[in-house]
């Protein structure tokens, strides 16, 4: 039997704003697109440019080739470093091999690299709050000599850490962490080491912070929350966690195909957001999928307005 409009139950979709692409992701994707326009295909990219399968697949069709290591790249084609940042060894190797490289590292990640260097020059022992193995963490650790930075993942790590000199410590953080979880780790560090130095400004970036605030507002009013993002996207995983902490059921899905309508049994209000590397077309896809089964009404929940834009490398603008 065909569902007439009368049969479809009503469903309110609360759209979190801001959601989706941040300025750093937008810039990184543009760098790959413009490099392909300027130099032709293939253009190599070291690591996924941003953590989203849909973005990566689209760039592959344009002529991007994704590799994990620089050694997989020929020397006669351009290579782009991903938005997450790279250890210092990457540009050094590219220079040694006389490669043309374009750095799509987010400027807010580069800012953390600068802070790390500043603390190191000042002779401080550095703690990096972040997730082991995430490319941003690998890149930040790789700014300084081995042993200069210690990774702290949890409050337990913060409590167990033994510094060389408690009066000479600093901490920096990954840009895509949970604001609330990080505050707990920082509180544990400050409790033990009141003199610990911090960055001039919060390392967790504006986009991560804004998306988490928007999710709290949406989750508070939703029966179920859908976060569009890939499981290896740190900021997307954090959005789902923040939603759960705000009291809601939250699901991280790649796209509309990952949506299980059984999750919506008895739901009247569904919140939808997207991580900083998830394209808006995926959000629209979820709304279309919901509209097949429900009488959907959409409400945008406004948090911060984002006006940040980062400049492209000069070589691509000419």
Alpha helices in 9-133 (DSSP H): 23-39, 53-62, 89-96, 107-121
Cα–Cα dist 76/78, whole Å = 7
232: buried, middle or exposed (CB in 10 Å: 19+, 13-18, 0-12)? Answer: middle
Rounded to the nearest 10°, the torsion over CA 190, 194, 199, 202 is 40
10: buried, middle or exposed (CB in 10 Å: 19+, 13-18, 0-12)? Answer: exposed
Cα–Cα dist 122/169, whole Å = 10
136 is catalytic: yes
Cα–Cα dist 296/13, whole Å = 7
User: Given 48, 115, 125, 136, which residue is catalytic?
Assistant: 136
Active site residues: 136
């Amino acid at each position: 039997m065909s569902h007439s409009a009368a049969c479809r139950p009503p469903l309110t979709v609360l759209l979190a704003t801001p959601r989706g692409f941040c300025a750093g992701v937008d810039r990184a994707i543009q760098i790959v697109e413009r490099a392909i326009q300027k130099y032709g295909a293939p253009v190599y990219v070291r690591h996924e440019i941003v953590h989203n399968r849909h973005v990566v697949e689209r760039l592959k069709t344009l002529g991007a080739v994704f590799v994990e290591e620089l050694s997989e790249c020929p020397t006669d084609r351009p290579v782009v470093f991903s938005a997450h940042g790279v250890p210092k060894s990457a540009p050094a190797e590219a220079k040694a091999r006389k490669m043309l490289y374009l750095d799509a590292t987010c400027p807010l990640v580069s800012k953390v690299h600068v802070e790390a260097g500043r603390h190191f020059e000042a002779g401080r022992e550095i703690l990096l709050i972040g997730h082991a193995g995430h490319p941003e963490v690998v890149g930040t650790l790789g700014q300084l000599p081995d042993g200069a930075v210690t990774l702290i993942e949890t409050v337990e790590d913060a409590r167990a850490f033994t510094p060389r000199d408690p009066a000479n410590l600093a901490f920096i953080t990954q840009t895509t962490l949970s604001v609330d979880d990080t505050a707990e780790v920082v509180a544990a560090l400050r409790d033990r080491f009141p003199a610990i130095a911090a960055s001039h400004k919060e390392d967790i970036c504006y986009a991560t912070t804004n998306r988490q605030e928007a999710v709290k507002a949406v989750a508070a009013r939703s029966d179920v929350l859908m976060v569009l993002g890939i499981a290896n996207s740190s900021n997307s995983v954090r959005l789902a966690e923040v939603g759960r902490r705000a009291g809601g059921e939250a699901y991280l899905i790649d796209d509309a195909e990952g949506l299980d309508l059984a999750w919506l049994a008895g739901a009247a209000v569904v919140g939808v957001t997207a991580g900083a590397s998830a394209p808006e077309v995926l959000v629209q896809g979820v709304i279309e999928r919901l509209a097949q089964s429900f009488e959907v009404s959409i409400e945008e929940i406004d948090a911060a307005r984002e006006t940040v834009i980062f400049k492209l490398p000069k070589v691509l603008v000419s």
